């Protein structure tokens, strides 16, 4: 009994939705495609931007556990095969520990910007849908109104007025549908953009903290001795 009631209700909802799309005109189908793409993109971004996947707690805890001046060997083994964004930035920092601190920080900031762009992948789709969904709805409404007013005078009396009112109401279905797609998509785009920005700042802060711990107690002269002197780079004259 319950299963039959659920099937009947589902069938009724499907018929209502299909009727709504059919009454809205041709532009309802591109809007339906936009809604499917928007929902799919937000689900995929939600899975990809999970904090545990971008910033694994094991790596984060190891960075915080490292004492100033301590050896980052364990952390290096931990991030060696990890594909997360935090692991990528940490690996770059550890690979440049033999150079000056300022150079290492600059390399880390560059890699952090690269990871931020990678995390934002797919958000451009949401931004495009936010822009085009209301416009498609507006075009559908205008197209429907043109169709309605092109039939003015073909009938007479109260039926003519009634048909115009029904036609205008149906034409506005596309506008309603377009706005109902744009609003949640805008919310999703804003949320994911802000989340990427916050996680990028947190990762950069963590790795800069790691660099400060690794360079603790090291004098700048160590790096001067590691760098070749200008005199040694001058070619010796040939006799």
Over residues 111-161, the pLDDT tens digits come to 888 999 889 988 999 999 999 999 998 888 888 777 777 766 555 555 567
Mean per-residue pLDDT, 197-219: 85
Tell me, yes or no, whether 5 lies in a domain: no
Q: What is the largest CA-CA distance in the chain?
A: 112
Mean per-residue pLDDT, 14-23: 63
The pLDDT assigned to 230 comes to 43
pLDDT band at 34 (very low <50, low <70, confident <90, very high): very high
Mean per-residue pLDDT, 163-191: 85
**Rounded mean pLDDT of the chain?**
80
Q: Are residues 171 and 25 in contact, defined by beta-carbon separation less than 8 angstroms?
A: yes
State the total domains in the chain: 1
pLDDT at 238 over 60: no
The pLDDT assigned to 148 comes to 74
Tell me, yes or no, whether 231 lies in a domain: no
Model-level pTM? Answer: 0.76
Tell me, yes or no, whether 142 lies in a domain: yes
Domain carrying residue 58: 27-216
The pLDDT assigned to 228 comes to 47
The pLDDT assigned to 157 comes to 53
Instruction: Measure Cα distances from 142 to 50, 102, 153, 176, 185 in Å.
Output: 42, 59, 19, 13, 23
Residue 166 CA to residue 179 CA, distance in Å, equals 21
The pLDDT assigned to 134 comes to 92
The pLDDT assigned to 239 comes to 41
Residue that wins the pLDDT comparison between 63 and 227: 63
Tell me, yes or no, whether 74 lies in a domain: yes
Tell me, yes or no, whether 239 lies in a domain: no
Q: Are residues 176 and 138 in contact, defined by beta-carbon separation less than 8 angstroms?
A: no
3-class DSSP assignment, residue 66: coil
pLDDT band at 234 (very low <50, low <70, confident <90, very high): very low
Q: What is the pLDDT of residues 86-114, one digit of tens each?
A: 999 999 998 888 888 888 888 988 888 89
Residue 167 CA to residue 159 CA, distance in Å, equals 12
Residue that wins the pLDDT comparison between 61 and 6: 61
Q: Are residues 94 and 75 in contact, defined by beta-carbon separation less than 8 angstroms?
A: yes
Tell me, yes or no, whether 2 lies in a domain: no
DSSP states of 114-157 as a string? HHHHHHTTTHHHHHHHHHHHHHHHHHHHHHHHHHHHTTTTSS-T
The pLDDT assigned to 220 comes to 56
Tell me, yes or no, whether 115 lies in a domain: yes
Which range, of 97-106, 191-200, 211-220, averages the lowest pLDDT?
211-220
The pLDDT assigned to 39 comes to 95
Tell me, yes or no, whether 118 lies in a domain: yes
């Amino acid at each position: 009994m319950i299963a039959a009631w659920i099937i009947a209700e589902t069938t009724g909802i499907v018929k209502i939705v299909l009727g709504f799309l059919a009454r809205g005109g041709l532009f309802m189908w591109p809007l339906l495609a936009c809604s499917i793409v928007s929902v799919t993109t937000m689900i995929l971004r939600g899975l990809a931007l999970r904090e545990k996947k971008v910033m694994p707690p094991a790596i984060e805890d190891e960075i915080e556990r490292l004492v100033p001046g301590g050896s980052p060997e364990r952390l290096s083994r931990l991030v060696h095969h990890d594909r997360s964004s935090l692991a990528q930035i940490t690996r770059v920092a550890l690979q440049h520990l033999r150079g000056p601190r300022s150079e290492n920080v600059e390399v880390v900031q560059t890699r952090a910007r690269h990871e931020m762009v990678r995390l934002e992948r797919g958000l451009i789709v949401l931004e495009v849908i936010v822009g085009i969904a209301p416009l498609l709805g507006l075009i559908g409404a205008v197209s429907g109104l043109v169709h309605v007013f092109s039939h003015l005078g073909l009938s007479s009396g109260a039926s003519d007025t009634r048909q115009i009112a029904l036609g205008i109401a149906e034409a506005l279905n596309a506008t309603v549908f377009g706005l109902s797609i744009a609003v949640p998509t805008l919310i999703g785009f804003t949320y994911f953009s802000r989340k990427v920005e916050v996680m990028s700042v947190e990762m950069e802060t963590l790795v800069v903290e790691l660099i400060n711990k690794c360079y603790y107690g090291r004098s700048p002269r160590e790096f001067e001795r590691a760098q070749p002197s200008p005199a040694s780079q001058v070619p010796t004259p040939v006799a």
